[in-house]
Amino acid sequence: MAQTDAALTLSVIDGIEQVSAAAWDACAGTAHPFTRHAFLHALEASGSATGRRGWLPQHALVHDAAGTLLGVAPLYLKSHSFGEYVFDWSWADAYERAGGQYYPKLQAAVPFTPVTGGRLLVRPDLPEAERERVASGLADGLVRVAQRHDVSSLHVTFPTRGDWSRLGEHGFLQRVGLQYHFTNPGYAGFDAFLGALKAQKRKQIRRERREVADSGLTIQRLTGRDIEPRHWEAFYDFYLATADKRFGFPYLTPDFFERLGETMPEQTLLVMAWRPDGQPVAGALNLVGSDTLYGRIWGCCEEHRFLHFECCYYQAIEHAIAHGLTRVEAGAQGEHKIQRGYLPVETYSAHWIADPRLRAGVADFIDRERPVVRAERAALMGESPFRTA
């Protein structure tokens, strides 16, 4: 336990179960599904994010003098750079070739989840000045944890722009990246969205959707308690099959999906594709926030043309429009998303580097990378499928 302020105390726990869901969620809220206690607990309790897998929880907590939890940050001690989606492999390679030891490092993030969200999570019911003080205490506290562990670096990935700016004020290097998001300005329906597209792109999407429909497959959106154990069993098979095809490691265990269905059914959307004989062949997992639909995992056991686009992109857009959500985040990478209505937006990460030599090299890299990323975004916006920018 370390003092961060005359009235604030920082502590670290090595498991999310060591703090109550009510206390954690009073800081993190429940509107953003991935920083909820239930989601992080599902990752840890299922064995998906544990020390054995290179994700040792070191969550940071800030209490006041009365012992009330005022702020939290999801934090992990890591022995590798898998499952992060903000790539630092080249930094690790350069540092270790120069004789340094890059791992372990600290990661303030949601494991396996390239989704923007709060990382300095402070109770929203505090006065604004107090919120500022607690957030600053968390930012300083993360650095203290890094120094105590004597790690090479501390990385805060996919924070909000506000958290990113604050971390920059506390000496973190600021990096930008790109993702592809759909924005709903208030479309009346999917046809209204199509009407906003250039004619060629509109025809392309209609052709892709028609081919899936003509294949005889049935697409179903399942939410809440309509998602049954049999659906999770089928989806896990899809998840394993797709991870195997892409030479990926299946980080998530069957127990994770079961826990997700049990503890967060109201924020879970599962899109399933079925053959005429009732056999499930593909699925896409989404989580639902207060104003955003987050596409997370796609899997299939049969290949069908355009089925991935239908389940992951078009069904997500339909659901968002139908439920008045303002945005769909479809995950990392994929320039092909642009032609389907998902435009490039900036994402953020912040990096604290202990060794001044490594920090200087990373700072130079980030300074040269940032204008390239922003120029790329500008060029990609020129490929927008919409009739007006």
pLDDT tens column, 270-303: 999 999 999 999 999 999 999 999 999 999 999 9
Pick the closest to residue 135 from 169, 166, 94, 95 (CA basis).
Answer: 166
DSSP string, 301-340: SS--TTHHHIIIIIHHHHHHHHTT--EEE--S--GGGGGG
Give me the residues paired with residue 271 across strands: 221, 284
Buried b (16+ CB within 10 A) or exposed e, 221-254: bbbeeebeeebbebbbbbbebbbeeeeeeebbbb
Cβ atoms of residues 359 and 328 within 8 Å = no
3-state secondary structure of 15: coil
Pick the closest to residue 344 from 308, 310, 373 (CA basis).
Answer: 373
pLDDT for position 334: 84
pLDDT for position 1: 39
The DSSP element (H or E) to which 73 belongs, if any, is strand 69-73
Please give the C-alpha separations between residue 145 and each of 88, 116, 244, 346, in angstroms, as whole numbers: 20, 23, 37, 28
Pick the closest to residue 383 from 86, 85, 180 (CA basis).
Answer: 180
pLDDT for position 341: 97
- CATH of the domain spanning 185-325, picked from 3.20.20.70, 3.40.630.30, 3.30.1390.10, 3.90.1170.40: 3.40.630.30
pLDDT for position 2: 56
Residue whose tokens read 């003509």: 214
Give the Cα separation of 194 and 25 in Å (integer).
Answer: 38
What is the longest distance spanned by two Cα atoms in the chain?
A: 67
pLDDT for position 338: 96
- What phi, psi does 12 have (nearest 5°)? -130, 135
Give me the residues paired with residue 298 across strands: 284
Cβ atoms of residues 140 and 187 within 8 Å = no
Cβ atoms of residues 387 and 198 within 8 Å = yes
pLDDT for position 243: 79
Amino acid, res. 311: C
- What ranges make up the beta strands (E) of 167-238? 173-183, 218-223
Residue whose tokens read 């879970």: 268
Ranges in the chain, pLDDT < 50: 1
What six digits make up the tokens of 147?
A: 């120094």
CB neighbour class for 40 (10 Å; exposed up to 12, middle 13-18, buried from 19): buried
- For 241-257, the three-class secondary structure string (H helix, E strand, C coil) is HHHHHCCCCCCCCHHHH
Q: Please check whether the two domains, 2-179+345-381 and 185-325, share a CATH topology.
A: yes
Q: Where are the domains of the chain?
A: 2-179+345-381, 185-325
In the chain, helix, strand, coil percent, each to 5? 45, 25, 30
pTM of the model: 0.95
Superfamily of domain 2-179+345-381: Gcn5-related N-acetyltransferase (GNAT) (3.40.630.30)
